[in-house]
Amino acid sequence: MAEQTPVVYAEHLDAGYLPGINILNDCSLVANQGELIGIIGPNGAGKSTLLKAIFGQVNVRSGKVWLNGEEITNLKANKLVAKGVAFVPQTNNVFPSLTIEENLQMGVFQTPKRFDERFEFVTNIFPDLGKRRAQKAGSLSGGERQMVAMGRALMIDPSVLLLDEPSAGLSPVRQDEAFLRVKEVNKAGVTVIMVEQNARRCLQICDRAYVLDQGHDAHTGTGRELLNDPKMVELYLGNLAEL
Amino acid sequence: MDWLNALNLTAGEFVGAYTAAYVLCALGLAVHFGFTGLLNFGQAAFAALGAYGYSIATLTFGWPWWSAVLFGLLCSAAFAVVLGIPTLRLRADYLAIVTIAAAQALKFAVSASIFEQVTGGSNGLSQFGDSFYSLNPIPKGRYDFGVFALSENELFIRIVAWSLIILIALFLYFLTRSPWGRVLKGIREDEDAVRSLGKNVFSYKLQSLVVGGSIASLGGMVFVMSSQTNQPSNWGTNFTFMLWTILLLGGAATILGPIIGGMVFFGLLMFLQSVMEGLVNMGWLPFLDIAQVGQIRFLLVGVALMLLVIFRPQGIFGNKKELQFNG
Amino acid sequence: MANQISIGEPAPGCKKVDPILVADNVTRVFGGLTAVDVEHMEIPRGLITALIGPNGAGKTTMFNLLTGFDKPNTGEWTFDGKNLAGVSSYKVARMGMIRTFQLTKALSLLTVIDNMRLGDQANPGESFFKSFIRPVWKRHEAKITLKADELLKRFKLDAKREDYAAALSGGQRKLLEMARALMSDPKLVMLDEPMAGVNPALTQSLLEHIKGLKENGTTVLFVEHDMHMVRHISDWVIVMAEGKVVAEGPPADVMKNPAVIDAYLGAHANSDLGDIEINSAAKETN
């Protein structure tokens, strides 16, 4: 069987913000078409940094990143958006003074003609966005803004959707909604790479996950494998849920 | 082109009395901005109060030099309190605006004709240095330092001024390494965090304003002492912006910064002036005349300040990691 | 258990047997929006109380009001019998109520150990005139440094002692903020989302620390979204929604409350999201 080119292939990355200090140390990641990939791990492990390295927002000092077989290492973010990489940051991810529809329009900024077609796609997954299209994004709650941010990212018809802690700051019911939304988006055919602090929920929905530790992809496996691995529970997941 | 003369003059500037005065005022500004994050754009006012306090105490009250010094310090401290109480509870930018206005207001006040009896109006005051210079132990004569020569009084004021700088630098060194200094550092970064730990942030900011202002008032006194004239025109916005240039050049949150920054700044200014004058005299700069050289220097100061802020905001000695620019 | 904490049955705004904080008629209005409208709230002394609720419920605003970081439109409250309404934030801290912040305020430009030293409230060296007489504060400084090192070890930050706080990760900064809050031996510690951003494996030991606070007699009030944590260590839970207190009681009872489940916990709280079919999920959440 012919091997399909992975959508995202990050190989042996070293990257960091301050000169001389690497947050990522020989970190690698593969995301195949249609997969939901989770990135979990302790604080300071480099989860967000890995995402930013793929999106050209941190200096990659060694190693390469490929998108659908094309090298994109250290390419600027605006060029990556044109190539189909969508990024949803953790905070400040919507324009509060614009309406939901205008926010979504910002999403297709580079290809405005595709608005109608993409708007239909996004509102199929998130009907609320269609129903409330004229509402200002600033008046939405945190969970609702997350939805708008994700919808906007989907407007570019991305090859891959990068999510930075989509559940951060949300109450339990909104977190569950956010995770289910991600699952839905993935089911519609979008490859997703998701950094999460809520490791348990992340592993429940993802196909495969990487556990980062000190900037390196220390462990990997399917979501189920990692969830049920006692070593993972001890080191990374904690056993509060069982108490 | 008399290079030797240019170098002589430059060397003289490194240890000049005006340089010392600016260094003192810049040290005061370092306490305000570098260590506490206060945006003070009216340091000229604090220096002016020191100068006027001293000269008025000497001429109008007839006090000896040490009372006059104390009076000058008191004036600056009082001004700091009056300025600080309404503004320090507000955002940083408000302090910036108020200090610019206050400095201008003060300058107009001292040149106003109704106060002319005491302040000398727009002509200012002079001949107030006798009590100070009577302390001079150095015998009358000219003292040759190889590259430049000074009279006994010129030498005296320089020795006093630079000793003062060393003393204050030591004082600040220990102050900033004390727990009090630590609180200021915290305030510089995040006032609410410091409040949540039980510290009266407003009081600390006021103390910092007084300390920095008092140091600047000493600078003002040194400034007028060397020429024994004190005029309102000395204390315009030029003064304040030269101070900021020196501070940023040397490194705002350091103690060595204002000192070396001041020396380099004035040395460079003098060097540029001498060289440009020489070039004009030799006919190499036909589009300029001597008078314009003096003005072009300040054009260059402005450009230098811009380049500093853009390319090396931490200055010579500053630590890029510690750099804090949003007050 | 409920009878030992509240006077009478648990209900929103119920009185407590031994309250450390009593608040009455607290309101805060931003423009047209009423962020907080609490008729009555009492925090039991010496216990761990959790303040939960959806985002926008007013929890952090309530925190800000109680600790003097915000002024209420109306309201009175007492802490340990002392009237606190309108008292400024630094004075509240000096009275023994220390809070942490949702957006961590670890001071990045100071080292970890200096951050800790700043947490002490009795340092003579912090007074201007005493600060340049080193012998006056040297011994106190050494004492608090020892205490700081002990706390840093407990929170596993001792290796980072000399680093600038800026070099710490987000979760580590949260830990630093918490450790720093303990430097002044507060009577009431108010933690704003202490677990957010902290590694789940570290959560266990953090909870032990918070329980340790209770053993020392410190009262704890915390805002959290992690229900496992809430269930595990809190003695009492107060639920806020849209600015009001809507439920109160021991954790097990509150979490079975259908209104709370609807608005806050979600129907899937105890299920595995991987098992949920997307279409059925869409039906439930819409």
pLDDT per residue rounded down to tens, chain A (243 residues):
446 899 999 999 999 887 778 889 999 999 999 999 999 987 778 898 999 999 988 999 999 999 999 999 999 888 998 888 999 988 778 998 999 999 999 888 888 888 999 999 888 888 888 888 888 888 787 778 888 999 999 998 898 999 999 888 787 888 888 899 899 899 988 999 999 988 889 999 999 999 998 899 999 999 999 988 888 887 777 766 554
**Which B residues in the span 189-208 are in contact with C, Cβ-Cβ below 8 Å?**
189-190, 192-201, 207
Same domain? C118 vs C19: no
- Interface size, chain A vs chain C, as Cβ–Cβ contacts under 8 Å: 116
Strands A191-195 and A160-164, how do they pair? parallel
Q: Per the CB < 8 Å rule, is C93 touching B197? A: yes
Q: What per-residue confidence (pLDDT) applies to C208? A: 82
N- to C-terminal Cα separation, chain B: 46
Provide the pLDDT for residue B323. Answer: 55
In 3D, which of C81, C47, C1 has the Cα closest to residue C217? C47
Contact A43 C272 (CB under 8 A): no
The answer to whether residue C116 sits within a structural domain is yes
Contact C90 B186 (CB under 8 A): no
Single-letter amino acid, residue C274: G
Residue A3 has a pLDDT of 65
- Residue B41 reports pLDDT greater than 90: yes
pLDDT at residue A241, as a whole number? 57
Give the closest residue to B161 by CA, choosing from B52, B27, B19: B19
Check whether residue C92 and residue C121 sit in a common domain.
no
The answer to whether residues A49 and A56 touch, using CB atoms and an 8 Å cutoff, is no
Tell me, yes or no, if C259 comes closer than 8 A to chain A by beta carbon. no
Q: What is the mean pLDDT of residues C165-186?
A: 87
ipTM of the complex: 0.87
Tell if the CB–CB gap between C200 and A223 is shorter than 8 Å.
no
Does C47 score more than 90 pLDDT?
Answer: yes
Looking at residue C236, which CATH number applies to its domain?
Answer: 3.40.50.300
Domain that holds residue C213: 2-106+184-285
Please write the tens of the pLDDT for every residue from B102-161: 999 999 888 887 888 788 888 888 888 888 888 888 888 888 877 777 888 888 899 999
What percent of chain C lies above the pLDDT cut of 70? 95
Specify the amino acid at residue B258: P
Give the pLDDT confidence score for residue B258 in this predicted structure: 93
Cα separation, A114 vs A130, whole angstroms: 16
The answer on C77 and C191 residing in a single domain is yes
Q: Which residues pair with A30 in a beta bridge?
A: A9
Instruction: Work out how many domains chain C is built from and give that number.
Output: 2
- How far apart CA B302 and CA B245 sit, in angstroms, is 8
Cβ contact A73:A63 at 8 Å: yes
Q: Which of A128, A174, A222, A240 to mutate to test the interface with C (most CBs of C within 10 A)?
A: A240
Per-residue pLDDT, averaged over B240-246, amounts to 90
Among B174, B180, B182, beta carbon nearest to C114: B182
Asked, for residue C65, whether it belongs to a domain, the answer is yes
User: Which chain C residues are Cβ-neighbours of A205 within 8 angstroms?
Assistant: 273-274
Chain C residues with CB-CB distance to B184 below 8 A = none
Q: Does the distance separating the beta carbons of C128 and B180 come in below 8 Å?
A: yes
Domains of chain B, CATH where assigned: 3-322 (1.10.3470)
Same domain, C189 and C83: yes
pLDDT of residue C170: 72
Query: Cβ(A33)–Cβ(A191) under 8 Å?
Result: yes
Q: Does A126 touch chain C (CB under 8 A)?
A: no
Q: Do B88 and B202 form a contact (C-beta atoms < 8 A)?
A: yes
Q: Could you tell me if C93 and C123 lie in one domain?
A: no
Tokens of C245: 């207190």
**Mean per-residue pLDDT, B70-81:** 95
Which H or E run includes A88? Answer: strand A85-88
- Residue C174 lies inside a defined structural domain of this protein: no
Mean pLDDT for C5-16 is 86
Average pLDDT estimate for B63-84: 93
**pLDDT, position C188:** 96
* pTM (two decimals): 0.81
Strand segments (E) across chain B: 125-126, 142-144, 149-151, 229-230
Q: Is C243 within 8 Å of chain A by CB?
A: no
Instruction: Please judge whether C118 and B186 are an interchain contact, meaning their C-beta atoms are less than 8 angstroms apart.
Output: yes
Q: Tell me whether residue C119 is in a domain.
A: yes
Question: What is the separation of C-alpha C82 from the centre of its chain, rounded to a whole number of angstroms?
Answer: 20
> Phi and psi dihedrals of B270, rounded to 5?
-65, -40
Select the residue from C33, C52, C169, C205 to test the A interface by mutation, using most A Cβ atoms within 10 A.
Answer: C169
User: Chain B partners of C105 at a C-beta cutoff of 8 Å?
Assistant: 190, 192-193, 196
Do C203 and A240 make contact, defined as CB atoms within 8 angstroms? yes
**Within-domain flag for C36:** yes
Q: What CA–CA distance (Å, rounded) separates B293 from B280?
A: 9
- Give the closest residue to C266 by CA, choosing from C225, C229, C238: C225
Name all domains of chain A by residue range, CATH numbers in brackets: 35-55+76-242 (3.40.50.300)
In tens, the pLDDT along C81-116 reads 899 988 999 999 999 999 998 878 889 889 999 999
Q: Compute the Cα dihedral for B180, C190, C101, B86 and give only its sign.
A: negative
Dist. CA A181–CA A175, nearest whole Å: 10
Q: C170 touching A, CB under 8 A?
A: yes
Distance CA A140, CA A133 (A): 12
Comparing alpha-carbon positions, the chain A residue that sits nearest to C205 is A238
Give the residue from B167, B178, B323 with the most C CB atoms within 10 Å of its CB, the best one to mutate.
B178
Same domain, C191 and C227: yes
Mean pLDDT of B245-253: 88
- Same domain? C127 vs C58: no
On whether both C267 and C202 belong to a single domain, the answer is: yes
Span B270-288, average pLDDT: 82
Question: Domain check: are C156 and C17 in the same one?
Answer: no
Q: Is residue C228 part of a domain?
A: yes
State the pLDDT at residue A236: 78
Residue C177 is assigned to a structural domain of this protein:
no
Average pLDDT over residues B59-78: 91
- The stretch B62-87 carries a mean pLDDT of 92
Tell whether the model's pLDDT for residue B324 goes beyond 60.
Answer: no
Phi, psi at A62, each rounded to 5°: -155, 150
| Chain B adjacent subunits, 3+ CB pairs under 8 A | C
Q: Is the pLDDT of residue C2 over 60?
A: no
Contact: C90, B175; criterion CB under 8 Å:
no
What is the rounded CA–CA span in Å between residue B147 and residue C276?
88
Residue C172 lies in a domain: no
Beta-strand ranges (E) seen in chain C are 19-30, 33-44, 48-52, 74-79, 82-83, 97-99, 188-192, 219-223, 236-241, 244-249
Quick one: C280 and C204 in the same domain? yes
Please, which pLDDT band fits residue B320 given cuts at 50, 70 and 90?
Answer: low
SS3 category, B163: helix
A187 burial type by CB count under 10 A (0-12 exposed, 13-18 middle, 19+ buried): middle
Query: What is residue B322's predicted lDDT score, i.e. its pLDDT?
Result: 58
Interchain pair C264, A171: CB under 8 A: yes
Mean of pLDDT over chain B: 87
Q: What are phi and psi of B223, to 5 degrees?
A: -55, -50
Asked if A12 has any chain C CB less than 8 Å from its own CB, the reply is: no
Residue A27, beta-bridge partner list: A13
Chain B interface, best mutation among C64, C105, C123, by max B CB count within 10 A: C105
Q: Please choose, from the candidates C68, C67, C150, C93, the residue with its C-alpha nearest in 3D space to the C-alpha of residue C116.
A: C150
Clarify whether residues C102 and C190 are in a common domain.
yes
Query: Can you read off the two tokens belonging to residue C217?
Result: 């007699």
Find out whether C282 and C272 touch, Cβ atoms under 8 Å. no
Domain match, C96 and C201 both: yes
Give the per-residue pLDDT at C280: 43
pLDDT at site C132:
80
